[in-house]
Structure 1
Amino acid sequence: MIEAHYVEVGGSLSYVEVAGDGPAVLCVHTAGQSGVQWRHTTGDLAARGHRVVVPDLPGHGRSEPAPDGPVDDLGRYAEWLRRLISALDLDRPFVVGCSIGGKIALDLATRWSDELSGVVAMAAEAGTGSVRVAGLQRELEDVAAASRTDRTYLGTLAVVGSALPPERAELIAQMHRREDPVVSTSDLIGWGTHDVRDRLGAITCPTLLVAGEDDLWVDPARVRATAADIPHASCVVLPGIGHYPMEEIVGFADVLHDWIRELQRASGPGERGKA
């Protein structure tokens, strides 16, 4: 059963879903979206022996806005998640994120590796990538345009993988167009200015980077380069998958469960058998 909670973190109430018992897995959504992106994963992963925790970041989904407005610094989201981990008394969770969620997971690991059991960063690299921040800042002046939701819809269709049936791609795109454009654009400004390349050597927890072969936003070569700069990290490239593996892959909970078991094995004998 999935439990819903409102938790006060950083001066505002945040919506969090929790399911299952076992090693904690904190799942972080993409820019402008919410924990609903993990709806096909939460229950099934919990059934595999995990305590699955899925928050809506401040200003997203059912969470209240951040007290000082939309967040455009992913490092602040990392600090917020650390406070959430403390508020929920999670013991060294695995952190799994996609897109900005993947970059936030890497940020956490560069600063607080000893507080994590491992990280799975999907559709994310350590540098700023190819986002044009100046263009995004101009978009903040035009986020109310009727075409904005259409751009989100069409943009989502463009970055899902070729392996998806058309009806699944359509569902993902329809779900994504419900985002708040001010929040999502602020998130993407955070994406375009976030750079932890000089801190990757500080990551000591087991780390897996995941790239979709068909992702038009994140070059798998840059993801591999990020993995190469993290001690003992590994990298997986998913054929036929785009920017949203947890939404695109049927049975993603099983895939994620296997990745977590690999991270546990990388942690050493003390972590084995916990999943």
Structure 2
Amino acid sequence: MRAEYLDVGGTRSFVLDDGEGPAVLCLHTAGQNGVQWRDTQSELAALGYRVVVPDLPGHGRSEPAPGGAVSDLGAYAVWCEELVDVLHLERPFVVGCSIGGAIALQLAARRGECLAGVVAMAAHGGTDTPGLSVRGLRRELVDAAAPSRSDRTYYGTRAVVGRRVPAERAELIARMHRREDPQVSTSDLIGWVNHDVRDVLPTIACRVHLVAGEDDLWLDVADVRRTAEAIPDARCTVLDGVGHYPMEELEQFAAALHEWLDDLGSRCTGRKP
């Protein structure tokens, strides 16, 4: 495993790079960082992939973006494009969850012809009925350092983890998540609410697999299915008993992801699985 700081988009950015083979860029959720992929990275690398896990600007061990907290997921997509170029990744897969899944869809819309495929989890192309209010989120930025925010993150995470996850694992996920920077995570959520690529979904030029947890209280599975229907040859998987964080909730997630990536590659090249 290689860990390094790279200059990407004017930000000193922390990136983990593990394994050899087809590249897989793994994107984390709002306010979090690459540690969410800690159980997946080495296992996926052992299956024959080069797994690249960055901390987005302002997250984890990456320095803040030059203009401060980012509230436009398109800006993260541009940053990811530069990261792909800096690392010379040739036709990578992109896998993301929540805002990471939305960013993956933005990348598919922006340069799908340069990607081997996309797995977008807990994400959709956009919706007219978001569960969050931009106005309310902007109010939170005024008091984003309030101690109660970490508790809201903790209890909110516990509530959205799926029913099949053991209590001890659900507790660990929630305690890991509460370490986020409220200023950054709130800005991420503003980007999530404003994210909308529905108009360009039919033009996406790579294979896409959308994944949603049946127990995800922050997402309407119907929106995910509509997104899949709008993308040519896209597939949609709904995971029973799983919530908003499949890569953290599923014990054998690397094996499941391997199957999805193999399917994407098979359909892209025309070979049979």
User: Same fold by TM-score, threshold 0.5 exceeded?
Assistant: yes
Count of aligned pairs: 271
Alpha-carbon displacement from aligned partner over 1:114-160 (angstroms, at most 9, x marks no partner)? 11000000000111432211110010011111111000000000100
Query: Offset of 1:54 from its aligned partner?
Result: 0.1
Query: 1:230 maps to which residue?
Result: 231
Query: 1:124 maps to which residue?
Result: 123
3-state DSSP class of the match of 1:7? strand
Query: 2:93 maps to which residue?
Result: 94
Query: 1:106 maps to which residue?
Result: 105
Matching of residue 180 in structure 1 with residue 181 in structure 2: yes
Alpha-carbon displacement from aligned partner over 1:151-204 (angstroms, at most 9, x marks no partner)? 000000010000011000000000000000000000000000110000101111
3-state DSSP class of the match of 2:26? strand
Matching of residue 154 in structure 1 with residue 155 in structure 2: yes
The amino acid across from 1:64 in the alignment is E
> Do the aligned residues in 2 keep the contact of 1:111 with 1:202 (CA within 8 Å)?
no
TM-score of the two chains, using structure 1 as the length reference: 0.97
3-state DSSP class of the match of 1:40? helix
Query: 1:253 maps to which residue?
Result: 254
Query: Offset of 1:268 from its aligned partner?
Result: 2.2
Matching of residue 59 in structure 1 with residue 45 in structure 2: no
Unaligned runs of 5+ residues in structure 1 are none
3-state DSSP class of the match of 1:162? coil
Unaligned runs of 5+ residues in structure 2 are none
Query: 2:218 maps to which residue?
Result: 217
Work out the CA distance in 1 between the residues paired with 2:238 and 2:124: 13
Q: Give me the CA root mean square deviation.
A: 1.0
TM-score of the two chains, using structure 2 as the length reference: 0.98
3-state DSSP class of the match of 1:36? helix
3-state DSSP class of the match of 2:96? strand
- Please, which moves more after superposition, 33-42 or 198-207? 198-207
Query: Offset of 1:252 from its aligned partner?
Result: 0.7
Query: 2:83 maps to which residue?
Result: 84
The amino acid across from 1:204 in the alignment is A
Query: 1:73 maps to which residue?
Result: 72
Work out the CA distance in 2 between the residues paired with 1:131 and 1:107: 20
- Please, which moves more after superposition, 246-255 or 129-138? 129-138
Work out the CA distance in 1 between the residues paired with 2:147 and 2:30: 20
Work out the CA distance in 1 between the residues paired with 2:109 and 2:8: 22
> Do the aligned residues in 2 keep the contact of 1:3 with 1:18 (CA within 8 Å)?
yes
The amino acid across from 1:242 in the alignment is G
The amino acid across from 2:30 in the alignment is A
Query: Offset of 1:219 from its aligned partner?
Result: 1.0
Work out the CA distance in 2 between the residues paired with 1:269 and 1:126: 26
> Do the aligned residues in 2 keep the contact of 1:159 with 1:215 (CA within 8 Å)?
yes
Query: 1:140 maps to which residue?
Result: 141
Q: Percent identity?
A: 63
Work out the CA distance in 1 between the residues paired with 2:11 and 2:147: 30
3-state DSSP class of the match of 2:39? coil
Query: Offset of 1:111 from its aligned partner?
Result: 1.1
Work out the CA distance in 1 between the residues paired with 2:200 and 2:156: 31
The amino acid across from 2:37 in the alignment is W
Alpha-carbon displacement from aligned partner over 1:95-128 (angstroms, at most 9, x marks no partner)? 0000000000000111101110000000001114
Work out the CA distance in 2 between the residues paired with 1:42 and 1:60: 18
The amino acid across from 2:66 in the alignment is P
Matching of residue 170 in structure 1 with residue 180 in structure 2: no
